[in-house]
A = this chain, B = another copy of it.
Amino acid sequence: MIARAAILSTGDELTTGRIADTNAQWIADRLFEIGVEVVCVLVVGDFPERLEWAWRQALERADLVISTGGIGPTADDLTTETVARVVGVGLVMDEPSADTMRRFFAARGLDPMPENNLKQAMIPAGAVVVPNALGTAPGYRAALGGKHVVVLPGVPREMKPMLERSVLPWLRAQRGGEVYLARTFQTFGISESGLDQLVAGVVDPAEGRISFRASFPEVSLRVVVHGTPAHAEAGLAAVGERLRARLGEYCYGEGPLTMEEAVGRALRAHALTLAVAESCTGGLVAHRVTNVPGSSAYFLGGIGAYANAAKRTLLAVPEDTLARHGAVSEEAARAMAAGARRAFGADLAVATTGVAGPDGGTPEKPVGFVCFALASADGVRSATHQLWGTRDWVKLLASQIALDMVRRQALGLGPHDPLLFRRR
Contacts and interface: CB of A to CB of B under 8 A. Distances in A.
Interface residues of A, number: 77
Given A291-B391, A293-B391, A15 B43 contact: no
Contacts of A259: none
Contacts of A392: 291
A27 B20 CA distance: 11
Interface SS of A by simple majority: mixed
A343 B311 CA distance: 11
Nearest to A356: B290
A19 B25 contact: yes
A295 B360 CA distance: 12
A235 interface: no
A290 B283 CA distance: 8
Nearest to A54: B40
A359 B290 CA distance: 13
B296 A300 contact: no
Q: Which residue among A30, A283, A344 has the maximum number of chain B CB atoms within 10 Å of its CB? A: A283
A278 B289 CA distance: 13
Interface in A47-63: 50, 53-54, 57, 61
A168 to B, nearest CB: 13
A283 B300 contact: no
Interface stretch (A31-39, A91-99, A225-233): A31-39
A41 B57 contact: no
Contact of A41 (B21, B303, B343, B395): B21
B18 A213 contact: yes
Given A289-B282, A296-B306, A304-B286, A16 B28 contact: yes
A357 B17 CA distance: 33
A88 to B, nearest CB: 23
Interface string A378-397: 00000000000001100100
A285 interface: yes
A309 interface: yes
A303 B306 contact: no
Nearest to A5: B15
Contacts of A176: none
A304 B343 CA distance: 12
Interface of A: 13-22, 24-32, 37-45, 50, 53-54, 57, 61, 211-213, 276, 278, 281-291, 293-296, 299-307, 309-310, 313-314, 343-345, 356-360, 391-392, 395
11 contacts: A15-B37, A16-B29, A17-B25, A41-B43, A282-B291, A283-B283, A283-B286, A287-B287, A294-B359, A300-B306, A313-B343
